[in-house]
Amino acid sequence: DARVTQTPRHKVTEMGQEVTMRCQPILGHNTVFWYRQTMMQGLELLAYFRNRAPLDDSGMPKDRFSAEMPDATLATLKIQPSEPRDSAVYFCASGLVRPEYFGSGTRLTVV
């Protein structure tokens, strides 16, 4: 049963620390998305990649966030330095064109 795998599931960190979230898309999916979900803002598109190339990262605060796809089986989202307002659930999704399958999310708490 193919699925999008995200690690870690939960992360609690102190303000100022670096946080790295990882995503393994479904094999064969060439499009990978990162979304952030909060109660106040809902689901926000942070960035997405096709064939490992960034297509859009306009939703991402560039000063502290970075997203990469070092290879076709791994996408990473990094926050450095983290701030309390980054606390949210971060979802990765993959598909051939659209966000079709979502991972279980990484629940990030920055204290």
When the beta carbons of 56 and 83 are compared against other proteins, the nearer one is 56
- Asked if 62 interacts with other proteins (CB under 8 A), we say no
What's the Cα-to-Cα distance from 10 to each of 22, 49, 61, 83, 92, rounded to whole Å?
12, 24, 22, 16, 14
Binding mask 66-105 for other proteins (x = CB under 8 A): -------------------------x-x---xxxxxxxxx
User: What is the DSSP secondary-structure string of 4-61?
Assistant: -EEE-SEEEE-TT--EEEEEEPPTT--EEEEEEEETTTEEEEEEEEETTEEEE-TTS-
Segment interacting with other proteins, rule: CB under 8 A, options 17-25, 43-51, 69-77, 80-88: 43-51
Peptide bond into 8 cis (omega under 30): yes
Q: Which of 43, 51, 61, 80 is in the footprint of other proteins by CB under 8 A?
A: 43
Q: Which of 23, 26, 35, 79 is in the footprint of other proteins by CB under 8 A?
A: 35
User: Cβ of 9: how many Cβ atoms within 10 Å?
Assistant: 10
Smallest distance from other proteins to CB 16, Å: 28
Q: Which residues contact other proteins (rule: CB under 8 A)?
A: 33, 35, 42-43, 45, 48, 50, 55-56, 91, 93, 97-105
